[in-house]
Amino acid sequence: MGTPKKKKKSQTLESQFHFDLNLCSKNKDLLGAISLFESAISNGTRLNHHHFNALLYLCSNSVSDHSLKDSALDNGFRIFDRMLSAGISPNEASITAVARLAAAKSDGDHAFELVRTMGKHNAVPRLRTYDPALFCFVEKSEAEKAYEVEEHMGMAGVSLEEAEIAALLRVSSETGKGEKVYEYLHKLRCSVRCASESTAKIIEDWFCGKKACEVGEVGWEVGKVREAVFRNGGGWHGRGWIGKGEWIVRRTSVDWSGQCCCCGDKLFCVDIDDEETEKLAQSVASLAMEREVKSNFSKFQDWLDKNADYEAIVDGANVGLYQQNFADGGFSVSQLDSVVKELYNKSGNKWPLVVLHNKRYRALLENPSNRKLVDEWMDKGILYTTPTGSNDDWYWLYTTVKLRCLLVTNDEMRDHIFELLGSSFFLKWKERHQVRYTFVKGNLKLQMPPLYSSVIQESEKGAWHVPIAGDSGEESERTWLCITRPSVYKVLDEVFPIEDSSPIGGCLQLQQCTSNNIANRNDIRGNLDSSDTSNDKPTVVTGKRKERCFSTS
């Protein structure tokens, strides 16, 4: 029965404990905190959620200190048990701390069990909650268990980052699981632009290892692989290891045009894949439909279906109003004209499409000196005017996505409307399709998309190029891993003599890359060989040692 006096005394004890524990946390004083915990237990001080978490955190943080490890482990688990028996639900931070303790004991199973059962405390795991179990399994080369952790992360909606993917790659490599290595290389490609030095080392170790020589198929359909590269937006095919035999791993650089200085392969400016493009076009269209007068936008879509032959779209207002914030500044038709002409010249005489709001178009017509030019644009199908009340952003964005072409605008597309798209691939799309521009003393300069992307790339010859993260901001100074399989090059050289350098075999459904689509073909920069091919039959490279041939059956 608490008399007022007793209550007051316990309050004093609690606040004193609280104060002292905070001090220990601040000073990372594990032993001090443990003795506070002991006396709190013996004098019946009530510990709350914060106190338990502070104690657990101190323990988990002390395991790396050799002299404290044993004490941290013994007391950490005891504190956690006490927390549970006191009826205080652990949260994510508590579980993470205890999972770290379990991992410090090399008990990955326990660490994983803690994550698996945290739902009963209504706690939601984060990436860091999984790390102790995952890294523990990797250290012990328990690949299957590591994969289980990854699977659980997927179910919990937790995404892996470079450290986790690299760890899974490592355990797969060390246990000789070639298919898994392939899978994780692709996961790495998807989520990391440049690999860290430690990840690069793991990749090198795999390719220099014995097992890597054994993986792969000797018969592969060259055309199918190439088709997959294009369908994926360039930079990867995902069809598995190609060829057999040893790999050559070298550190090299890539020249300004994206050519590997080691093997001579040309790297891609990687685009989003077909599925992502379709998804992006659909989400732009459905957002536009919500916000625009529906019939206007669908009328435009119909128009676009019939007039799909553009290689570049111009955000007319953005170009016309560029640097016009001076007295007498208005809409510069001459700037727009320069952009139109430059695109026409660069693309081998194809007119771009300028998207312009109706009200601006009418204002331009009011000025007799513009009229002739604007009429000419109309006649040549260069101009599309968006209806009154519309937001022309939807129109140029939709067109560019749909036609997979280039977009001339300095708009960074960070407005709310682009945020609505919210897709992870929008940035990647922008990198590949946006052309920025400047006018220096009236002279136009177009800044084309980069010639290649500094991302992990898999070539149609099964080679890998891995950019390594560095301190230098200069792309030209970046170190790359160039990983090739000489036997594959040899086979391809024999099958396709050197003079035939363009298409390697059957290129099915390559309308997108064989049409005059500059965004895909880089024609406007003239840096992509013609992918046209008349051979629509699959080309199979066989691995027969004596008579390497390809069947067209």
Binding mask 264-293 for Zn ion (x = CB under 5 A): -x----------------------------
Going from the C-alpha of 267 to that of each of 274, 457, 458, 465, 498, the distances in angstroms are: 19, 7, 9, 8, 19
Task: Please report how close the Cβ of residue 130 comes to Zn ion at its closest, in angstroms.
Answer: 35
How many other CB atoms are there within 10 angstroms of residue 141's CB atom?
A: 12
Residues 116-135 that bind Zn ion (CB under 5 A): none
- Residue (67 or 476) nearer to Zn ion, CB: 476
Among 101, 262, 288, 383, binds Zn ion (CB under 5 A): 262
Residues 331-350 that bind Zn ion (CB under 5 A): none
- Residue (263 or 356) nearer to Zn ion, CB: 263
Task: Please report how close the Cβ of residue 321 comes to Zn ion at its closest, in angstroms.
Answer: 44
When asked if residue 263 is in the footprint of Zn ion (CB under 5 A), the reply is yes
Bridge pairing between strands 383-386 and 353-357: parallel
Task: Please report how close the Cβ of residue 482 comes to Zn ion at its closest, in angstroms.
Answer: 3
Please, is 90 exposed, middle or buried when counting C-beta atoms within 10 Å of its C-beta (0-12, 13-18, 19+)?
buried
Matching residue, tokens 């795991």: 125
Task: Please report how close the Cβ of residue 485 comes to Zn ion at its closest, in angstroms.
Answer: 11
When asked if residue 181 is in the footprint of Zn ion (CB under 5 A), the reply is no
DSSP assignment letter at 268: P
If we measure between CA atoms, which residue out of 140, 138, 201, 144 comes closest to residue 164?
Answer: 138
220: which strand partners? Answer: 541
Binding span for Zn ion by CB under 5 A among 56-64, 262-270, 370-378, 468-476: 262-270
Binding span for Zn ion by CB under 5 A among 117-125, 205-213, 253-261, 283-291: 253-261
266 phi/psi in degrees, rounded to 5? -100, 130
When asked if residue 136 is in the footprint of Zn ion (CB under 5 A), the reply is no
- Residue (384 or 464) nearer to Zn ion, CB: 464
If we measure between CA atoms, which residue out of 460, 512, 456, 537 comes closest to residue 225?
Answer: 460
When asked if residue 468 is in the footprint of Zn ion (CB under 5 A), the reply is no
CA Rg, the chain, in Å? 31
When asked if residue 524 is in the footprint of Zn ion (CB under 5 A), the reply is no
Among 56, 203, 260, 408, binds Zn ion (CB under 5 A): 260
Task: Please report how close the Cβ of residue 260 comes to Zn ion at its closest, in angstroms.
Answer: 3
Long-range contact set of residues 225-230: C-beta below 8 Å, sequence gap at least 24: 225/460, 226/460, 226/503, 226/504, 226/505, 226/507, 226/510, 226/531, 227/507, 227/508, 227/509, 227/510, 229/268, 229/459, 229/460, 230/507, 230/510, 230/512, 230/513, 230/520, 230/531
d(CA 99, CA 126): 12
- Residue (260 or 319) nearer to Zn ion, CB: 260
Task: Please report how close the Cβ of residue 483 comes to Zn ion at its closest, in angstroms.
Answer: 8
Residues 390-409 that bind Zn ion (CB under 5 A): none
Binding span for Zn ion by CB under 5 A among 74-82, 184-192, 261-269, 300-308: 261-269
**Size, binding site for Zn ion by CB under 5 A:** 5
**One-letter amino acid for residue 181 of the chain:** V
Residues 474-513 that bind Zn ion (CB under 5 A): 482
387 phi/psi in degrees, rounded to 5? -70, 160
Residues contributing to the site for Zn ion (CB under 5 A) = 260, 262-263, 265, 482
